[in-house]
Structure 1
Amino acid sequence: MPSAPGTGKGGGPDHGYPPVGRLLPVGGGVVHALTTGSGPDVVLLHGASGNLRDFTFDLVGRLARDFRVTAFDRPGLGHSDPLHADGESPAEQAAVLDAAAGMLGLGRAVIVGHSFGGSVAMAWALEHPERVAAVVTLAGATMPWPGDLGPWYRIASTTFGAATVVPLVSGWLPDSYARNSVASIFAPQQPPDGYLEHVGIPLTLRRAAVLRSNVRQVAGLKPHVAAMARRYPGLSIPVEIVHGTADTIVPAAVHAHPMSRLLPNARLTKLPGIGHMPHHVAPDATLAAIRSAAVRAGLN
Structure 2
Amino acid sequence: MATGSTRFIRPRPTTWKPLAVKVLISVGLLFAALTVLTVWKAARHETHAEAEYPAEGIMLDVDGVPIHAVVMGEGPDVVLIHGSSGNARDMTFSLAPILAENYRVIAFDRPGLGYSGRFNSGGESISDQAAILQKAAVQLGADRPIVLGQSYGGSVALAWAVHHPENISALVPVAAASHPWDDPLDLFNTVASHPVGSALVLPLVTAYVPDSFVSNALDEVFAPQTAPQGYAEHFGPGLTLRRHSMHSNALQRASLQDEIVALQPFYSGIGVPTEIVHGTADVTVGLDRHSGKLVQEIPEANLVRLEGIGHMPQVVAAEEVAAAVDRAAARAGLR
Question: What SS does the corresponding residue of 1:91 show, helix, strand or coil?
Answer: helix
1:173 aligns with 2:209: yes
1:277 match = 312
Stretches of structure 2 lacking an aligned partner (at least 5 in a row): 1-42
1:242 match = 277
Whether contact under 8 Å (1:11, 1:210) holds in the other structure is: no
2:334 match = 299
1:53 aligns with 2:104: no
1:24 match = 60
Structure of higher CA gyration radius: 2
Q: How far apart are residue 180 of structure 1 and its match?
A: 2.4
1:289 aligns with 2:335: no
Letter paired with 1:156:
A
Letter paired with 1:278:
P
Question: What SS does the corresponding residue of 1:188 show, helix, strand or coil?
Answer: coil
Question: What SS does the corresponding residue of 2:120 show, helix, strand or coil?
Answer: coil
Measured in 2, the distance between the counterparts of 1:110 and 1:90 equals 18
More helix by share: 2
* Aligned-residue RMSD, C-alpha: 1.7
Question: Map of 1:72-221 to 2, 5 A cutoff?
Answer: 72-205=108-241, 207-221=242-256
> What is the number of residues matched between the two proteins?
291
Whether contact under 8 Å (1:162, 1:212) holds in the other structure is: yes
Whether contact under 8 Å (1:135, 1:238) holds in the other structure is: yes
2:34 match = none
Q: How far apart are residue 31 of structure 1 and its match?
A: 0.1
Render the CA deviation track for 1:21-55: whole Å, top value 9, x for unaligned. Answer: 11001122200001111111100000011111111
Measured in 2, the distance between the counterparts of 1:101 and 1:179 equals 31
Q: How far apart are residue 288 of structure 1 and its match?
A: 1.1
Letter paired with 1:289:
A
Whether contact under 8 Å (2:73, 2:103) holds in the other structure is: yes
Q: How far apart are residue 182 of structure 1 and its match?
A: 0.7
Whether contact under 8 Å (1:38, 1:64) holds in the other structure is: yes
Q: How far apart are residue 218 of structure 1 and its match?
A: 1.0
**Which residue of 237, 243, 265 maps to 1:230?**
265
Question: What SS does the corresponding residue of 1:130 show, helix, strand or coil?
Answer: helix
Measured in 2, the distance between the counterparts of 1:175 and 1:263 equals 40
Render the CA deviation track for 1:214-255: whole Å, top value 9, x for unaligned. Answer: 111111100111111111011121111111111111111211
Question: What SS does the corresponding residue of 2:80 show, helix, strand or coil?
Answer: strand
Q: How far apart are residue 147 of structure 1 and its match?
A: 3.2
117-126 vs 166-175, greater mean Cα deviation: 166-175
Q: Percent identity?
A: 46
Letter paired with 1:231:
F
Q: TM-score, normalised by structure 1?
A: 0.93
Letter paired with 2:100:
A
Measured in 2, the distance between the counterparts of 1:12 and 1:228 equals 39
Q: TM-score, normalised by structure 2?
A: 0.84
Q: 1:279 to 1:13 in 2, by over 3 A?
A: closer
Letter paired with 2:95:
L
Regions of 4+ moved over 4 Å: 10-13
